[in-house]
Amino acid sequence: MATSAQLQLHAGSGGLVGLGNMVSKEWNSWWRTRRGLTHLILWLIVINGLMFLVGVDERQGSPPQEVLDELIEVFIRAGGLFATIGIVLATQSAVVSERQLGTAEWVLSKPVSRHAFLLSKLLVNGTSFVFLAVVVPTVVFYLQVIHHALMQPTVVPFLMGLLLHVEHLVFYLTLTVLLGTYFRSRGAVSGVAIGFLIAGSILPGVVPSVTALLPWALHPIAGTIARTSTVPDGAHVTILMCGLWSILWILLALWRFGREEF
């Protein structure tokens, strides 16, 4: 009897068995639905729409260099704030919803490891979101800067600032996925993550010694580097610690999810 479909065998072993299948599943959730298009339109409106308004306001009588500096600063800091909130909201249910609906239990009954389950969500959600909320708006922003300031950002410092912006997003992505392995409510996950983000506007003034150890100073550092090509004092500590925190969140998420009972 002829079969209508063929099973495809994906090789894998150890803690990453099934990673390819899970990456394909997560990728389809972004790019074979309206989700990717929705995010693309949203971030063009939010980030580049904001930059258009700032550019129109700043170029009225302001020197081109001042317009350029202001546009870069707003793009890195304000655009970065919106994108950070966005990545939390976009991934708050990445683990929670699958635990609530029972799909996580069903998927893990197949030849898929728990590490592959979590790492696929980190990899695909991270790359998809960064492309839609950072890469595409940056290309449009570059054209906007030429229009409003009649100048171009210095490429290397600007890219360095963007990399720090991405590092900031990765911190909150990994934190959100970690929280999803502990909490069973999307509200709790997003509440803690966004609450931590908001705390960055309060605690540094109360306990300034913790600022260098947490990601709250990353966007100011990124803005300074992108505008002036100058690395602020103590920036290396913040950049290093933010990367270490992200690694720690991933390890804790893998450890906690590995002990989840279904």
In the chain, where are the structural domains located? 17-258
Over residues 151-170, the pLDDT tens digits come to: 888 999 999 999 999 999 99
**0.75 exceeded by pTM:** yes
List pLDDT tens digits, range 168-226: 999 999 999 999 999 989 999 999 999 999 998 888 777 888 888 999 999 999 999 99
DSSP the chain: ---SS--------GGGTTHHHHHHHHHHHHHSSSHHHHHHHHHIIIIIHHHHHHHHHHTTT--HHHHHHHHHHHHHHHHHHHHHHHHHHHHTTTTHHHHHHSHHHHHHTSS--HHHHHHHHHHHHHHHHHIIIIIHHHHHHHHHHHHHHSS---HHHHHHHHHHHHHHHHHHHHHHHHHHHH-S-HHHHHHHHHHHHHHTTTHHHH-GGGGGGSGGGHHHHHHHHHHHS-PPTTHHHHHHHHHHHHHHHHHHHHHHHHT---
